[in-house]
């Protein structure tokens, strides 16, 4: 077993760190406060090719894999841009990873060069108001209309649609009640977002939210959005297998972002604990503060190992569902625990926007609910890894 990062991943870590160093905590906090997309940071990362890491070289990318993409995301989040994990989940994850594995040659030629250059952005439309975490029960439908398909339905909590050029829309081409097996009848489509907006068949309404306001999360309405048949990803009715190759990378990238966010919160806490003097010594000398921070650091190291393992397995085409779920669970927990303990370390000052902990605290909380809830991950571990009976 070799635990040394490959040179490609080390180069990605160093390259992203060099760009991220130009944007301090004050920058990310200002973007959050203003509900403003961090265009400068995004463009700098794009100019360095740090969004095209997993795209083959013939389409202008770096020719690497999910491991390198996870390292990039972790590094960006560790710099203090904790909500920046959405940069990597939405476009390189939902867009590039999906097309590289399942896109047609025409789709790859059309879209991947723009993704590699950072000129094209993506979003994924899966979650629905009445289905929630039960993706099997989605009701957004696609029906054939000549050489095209018409998509009708509603999605919710769709992140980055306001910036997206393309949407991966998950639909039912066989209703859930008629599908045998229940995972049959899913079809994924590439929706030209700007074209559909101009046609008036797609609309969205941002949802006011607690954190991660560098991009919006929206309700999306699809009213007979017209999509050419050539924009099907994979095969009609057989999209569930494609969907797993969307969801596993999403969980792995979310885990990487969680580990990075934990490191960002620890950096702030440790700096404060070294500088703040009470009773004639740094507060970090008090084991009541030191030990909880050390515990979080240990968990971050464990989360990093499982994240890298899951990405390594995915890149080799090996089963990685268990590892992706464990990584996601651990990454989300350690991000939250780090932000919570950093908050405790700073005391009352953590409540002040003078420090970035209040932002990191808000950014970290959502990870325990998305992209899959902590309870569902534990149910997977209980039933699929431990062999315990299902509760449904």
pLDDT of 63-72, one tens digit each? Answer: 999 999 999 9
- Name every residue whose Cβ is closer than 8 Å to that of residue 177 and which is 6 or more positions away in sequence: none
Is residue 48 packed enough to be buried (19+ CB in 10 Å), middle (13-18) or exposed (0-12)?
A: middle
Q: Are 124 and 94 in contact (CB under 8 A)?
A: yes
Residue 210 CA, distance from chain mean position: 17
Q: Which residues of 128-141 are buried (b: 16+ CB within 10 A; e: fewer)?
A: beebeeebeebbbb
pLDDT at 287: 96
Closest CA to 368 of 338, 346, 335: 335
Rounded Cα–Cα distance for residues 98 and 247 (Å): 10
Q: Position of tokens 């580990």?
A: 259
Cα atoms in the Cβ-side hemisphere of radius 13 Å centred on 224: 3
Q: Dihedrals φ, ψ of 233, to 5°? A: -100, 120
Per residue in 317-349, pLDDT (tens digit) is 999 999 999 999 999 999 999 999 999 999 999
Q: What is the DSSP code (8-state) at residue 91?
A: I
Summarize the confidence of residues 217-243 as an average pLDDT: 97
Predicted confidence band of residue 366 (pLDDT cuts 50, 70, 90): very high
Q: Are 120 and 91 in contact (CB under 8 A)?
A: yes
C-alpha pair distances (Å), 82 with each of 25, 188, 233, 263: 10, 30, 31, 10
Closest CA to 92 of 17, 172, 2, 166: 166
Q: Are 173 and 237 in contact (CB under 8 A)?
A: yes
Residues written for the chain:
392
pLDDT at 196: 98
Question: Contacts from 142-146 at CB under 8 Å and sequence distance 24+?
Answer: 142/169, 142/171, 142/172, 142/173, 142/187, 142/189, 142/227, 143/173, 145/226
SS3 of residue 386 by DSSP = coil
Q: What is the pTM of this model?
A: 0.96
C-alpha pair distances (Å), 149 with each of 144, 188, 308: 5, 11, 39
**What whole-number percentage of the chain has pLDDT above 90?**
96
Predicted confidence band of residue 101 (pLDDT cuts 50, 70, 90): very high
Strand partners, 152: 141, 223
Q: Dihedrals φ, ψ of 343, to 5°? A: -60, -45
Summarize the confidence of residues 155-175 as an average pLDDT: 97
| pLDDT at 132 exceeding the cut of 80 | no
Rounded Cα–Cα distance for residues 242 and 98 (Å): 8
pLDDT at 32: 98
């Amino acid at each position: 077993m070799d635990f040394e990062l490959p040179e490609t991943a080390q180069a990605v870590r160093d390259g992203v760190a060099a760009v991220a160093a130009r944007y301090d905590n004050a920058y990310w906090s200002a973007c959050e406060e203003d509900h403003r997309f961090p265009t400068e940071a995004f463009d700098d990362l794009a100019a360095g090719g740090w969004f095209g890491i997993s795209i083959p070289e013939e389409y202008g990318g770096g020719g690497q894999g999910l491991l390198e993409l996870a390292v990039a995301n972790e590094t960006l989040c560790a710099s203090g841009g904790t909500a920046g994990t959405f940069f990597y989940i939405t476009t390189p994850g939902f867009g590039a990873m999906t097309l590289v594995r399942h896109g047609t040659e025409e789709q790859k030629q059309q879209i991947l060069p723009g993704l590699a250059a950072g000129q094209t952005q993506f979003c994924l439309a899966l979650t629905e108001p009445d289905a929630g975490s039960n993706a099997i029960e989605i009701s957004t439908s696609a029906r054939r209309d000549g050489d095209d398909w018409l998509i009708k339905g509603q999605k919710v909590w769709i992140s980055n649609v306001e910036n997206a050029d393309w949407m991966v829309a998950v639909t039912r081409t066989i209703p859930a009640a008629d599908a045998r097996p229940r995972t049959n009848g899913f079809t994924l489509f590439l929706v030209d977002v700007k074209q559909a907006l101009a046609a008036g068949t797609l609309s969205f309404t941002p949802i006011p939210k607690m954190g991660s306001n560098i991009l919006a999360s929206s309700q999306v309405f699809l009213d007979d959005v017209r999509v050419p048949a050539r924009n099907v990803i994979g095969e009609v009715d057989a999209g569930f297998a494609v969907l797993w190759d969307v969801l596993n990378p999403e969980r792995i990238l979310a885990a990487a972002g969680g580990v990075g966010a934990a490191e960002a919160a620890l950096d702030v806490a440790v700096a404060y604990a070294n500088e703040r003097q009470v009773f004639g010594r740094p507060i970090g000398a008090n084991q009541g503060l030191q030990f909880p921070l050390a515990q979080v650091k240990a968990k971050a190291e464990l989360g990093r190992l499982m994240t890298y393992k899951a990405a390594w397995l995915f890149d080799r085409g090996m089963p990685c569902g268990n590892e992706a779920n464990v990584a996601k669970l651990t990454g989300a927990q350690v991000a939250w625990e780090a932000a919570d303990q950093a908050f405790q370390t700073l005391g009352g000052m953590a409540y002040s926007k003078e420090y970035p902990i209040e932002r990191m605290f808000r950014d970290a909380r959502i990870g325990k609910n998305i992209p899959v809830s902590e309870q569902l991950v534990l149910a997977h571990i209980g039933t699929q890894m431990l062999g315990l009976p299902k509760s449904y």
